[in-house]
Amino acid sequence: MAVALRQEDTPIGFGALGTSITSNALPSSALLGSVIEVWVACGSGVSISSVVDSASQNYSLIGSINDPTDSSFISCYAFTNNASATALTVTANFSNTQPRNIHVREITGAKNQLPDTYNFPARIVNPGTGTDAISIALTSSGSPALISGFIAAVVGGGATIVAGTGFTGTIGLASGNGYGHSLFQTKRVTGSGSNPCTWTDATNGGATTYLGGAVIWDEAPAAALVGAPYYLESDEYF
C-alpha cells in the first residue's frame, strides 16, 4: 500500500479558553494499523500533559515549536491505531487555561509509528513572497515517502498561503487568537536527499512571521507474497 493521507477531520475554531480540546471526529472509521497524526496549536508558556484518543490510545510527541515572542505554540503527535476501527476523536490536555485548536489526519501505508524525519524550525521571519519562499528543510532517505507539513502566519493576519510546488494543500486551521491563515499539505516523494516542505504567500498581506513543522513518513515495504503449495503431477505411479 502506498503511503498516503487517507482522511482528516474538519478543524474546529478557536473557542473559549480551556484546559483541554477535543477534535471533530474523522469523517469515516479509521483503519487498524494506520498512523494518526495530530497537530495542536495554542498559546505559548504551556505544557501539554497528554494527547489521547477516543479509544484510550496515548500519543507520542514528534516535535514542537514554542514562540513566546508571538504567544504561539505548535506541536505534532502521532500513534499507530491498534485499537479501534471507528471515526476517532483526539483530546489534548493542557497545564493551564489556553486558547487552543487541534487537527487530526490519518496516514496509511507508513513504515513506522513515528515519522522517519521531521523538522520544527525556529520562527520563519520575512521569507518574502516568492514561489516556495516559506521553506522547512527535510532530507528523505530514498524510499517512497509522504511529506506532511503545516504552516501558520502568526504575525500579520492578511496572509493567503498556498501549497508549495508539487504539494497538495488540504485544509487550514480557523484563524483566531494570534493565528492568521494556515495550511496543511502533503507531497509524495521518491528520491533521496533534500526535499524541503515549502509554501508560497504571494499576497503577503502584511504577514512577517510563520510557524510550523513538517514530517516524512517512509512507505512500508510491500509484503512478501506467499503462494499456495504447488504439486508436480506425474503419469507414473509407484
Can you tell me which residue has the cell 501549497? 163
- Give the number of other Cβ atoms within 10 Å of residue 193's Cβ: 10
Angle (nearest 5°) at CA 40 between 36 and 41: 155
Cα dist. 107→4, 38, 73, 111, 135 in Å? 6, 11, 23, 10, 22
Q: Give CA–CA dist 15/214, Å, rounded.
A: 26
* Position 95 confidence tier, pLDDT thresholds 50, 70, 90: confident
Can you tell me which residue has the cell 513572497? 129
pLDDT in tens, 7-26: 999 887 776 678 899 999 99
Res. 199: pLDDT tops 80: yes
Helix (H, G, I), strand (E, B) or coil at 185: strand
Hey, what's the cell of 24?
471533530
Can you tell me which residue has the cell 486558547? 99
Helix (H, G, I), strand (E, B) or coil at 72: strand
Q: How far is CA 60 from the centre of its chain?
A: 13
Res. 182: pLDDT tops 90: no
The answer to whether 171 and 238 are in contact (CB under 8 A) is: no
pLDDT in tens, 68-92: 777 788 999 999 999 899 999 999 9
Q: Give CA–CA dist 190/146, Å, rounded.
A: 9
Q: Is the pTM of this model over 0.85?
A: yes
DSSP 8-state class, residue 179: B
